[in-house]
Chains A and B, each alone.
Chain A
Amino acid sequence: MTEPLLDAAGIEKGYGRISVLKGVDLAIAAGDAHVVIGPNGAGKTTLFKVLSGELIPDKGVVRFAGHDVTAMPGWRRTRLGIGRTFQVARTFKDLTTFENVVVALEAKRRQTASVFELLRLRPSDTVRKAARAMLDEFSLDTVADWPAGLLSHGDKKSLELAMALAARPRLLMLDEPTAGMAPADRRRSIDLISRLLAKGEFSLLLTEHDMEVVFGLATSITVLNYGEVIATGSPEAVRSNPRVKEVYLGHDVSAS
């Protein structure tokens, strides 16, 4: 078997005396759509922060594409190819939708761009074309000139997704991408994510509450409970895991 794209081993993280993650192992193969689920307080968000670079774990190692990224700050991880969104979509509210994407694209290009391009007053044609194309793809073309702060909740989430993808990540991490969305928006959002995923340009790691989303997208699932992994594997395997049924999924799954 080839080396997984992301490999976290023995992750421990605590706040003061409270230990939140107690030795979590997690591996994501290239091309995977990996979903982390678990009841509230299971440590999903903390794990997400440790993997994305927002927090540094107390113990354990995070490796990404052959690099040890355990203590690497978020912006360097992004440059290596880990993109992410936030639970509550964060965009640059006083910049326009278009400018938001431009800033994201330019951040990516800065790694390779020539000095001449960096010193240009206006965004280069390439960047502007790419930004327009992204806005079209994410159905944001009609609000391109709005300040991002005025966008609807759903549009903000789409915009943030577009910005994360502008960095052309190899692994995209989404923290509850459909949290607080109306059912229609939620479906639209899942469709968008699975359509992007189908292109095979990136792997996916997401945390999620909504079981429809989980089983609609996941190729593999990890179940966290009280900071420990209680099951990991294919959706079918996890669904039929008695321990998972007992502590978490139980009635949810049998009801659906």
Chain B
Amino acid sequence: MLFDIATIVFNALTWAMATFLVASGLTLIFGVLHILNFSHGGFLMLGAYLLFSVTQVIGDDLSFAGYLAVSVGAGIVIAAAGLIVDLVVFRRLRNVESAYVLIATYALLLLVEGLVKGIWGAGNHLVVPPEILIGAVFVGPVLLPYYSLFVIVCGVLAFIGLEWFLFHTTPGKLVQAVAIDPWMSSLLSVNVERVYSLTIVIGFALAGLAGGLLAANQGLSPQLGGISIIQAFGAIIVGGMGSIRGAFYAAILLGLIDAFGTALFPAFPGIFFYVALAGMILVRPKGLISSEFAR
């Protein structure tokens, strides 16, 4: 029984960190630009498919370093795509009602989904993880797959990295300043547009990177974008929109609730995520941590 619980917690943490990897860029962009970017999941999926294509070309026996390098590459490509999206879409919707912006980013998600279907087909693809991540280790009687451990490490590193960036570097502090008061920041001669662009680059790069890192976590299908965005929405809403720390905790919380719920009621897998999400919004509509980048 105790071992079961340990396994459930471990699976929950894996799910939570994978979700946080998706949610981190999403919540960063929302915190600064107040755009809830539906297409984030689409670009994450695009990153994953890019990695898949690379493995098709150079063979799917990537080394660990090679896998990481290709993921970073996917991050860079998606970051570049982010700049284009900013130029073509976001910039033109700066002063438009948030409902329209939400609809525009949703349209973008559909577009990316269609592109993926067009290029890679509607079927499933599989990415083989690097050899070192295949297999598992027993800790006591609990089986821990290496790949899950890798996902957890990635999630924690992303969290620490973002927190360090936002609170201990000059560009990070500028991002925070703009998030809190863009008008005041512009008076203090901060180039607000450039900070917006920087945020979008980081946010999209995180999406692409996460796509690469998580590509081998599950099968690739054109539905991946939609599925991952809903989970990430859940994490950032429960965590408090715009809060990195909140998203981190919320992902863990939602992961645990869903994992234990599914363990108790195996007939309804995945349903507890939504129950928890709806419940949390109703109890704490502003989320766990309400203001942007609140500590």
Direct contact of A and B (CB under 8 A): no
Residues of B participating in the A interface, judged by any CB pair closer than 8 Å: none
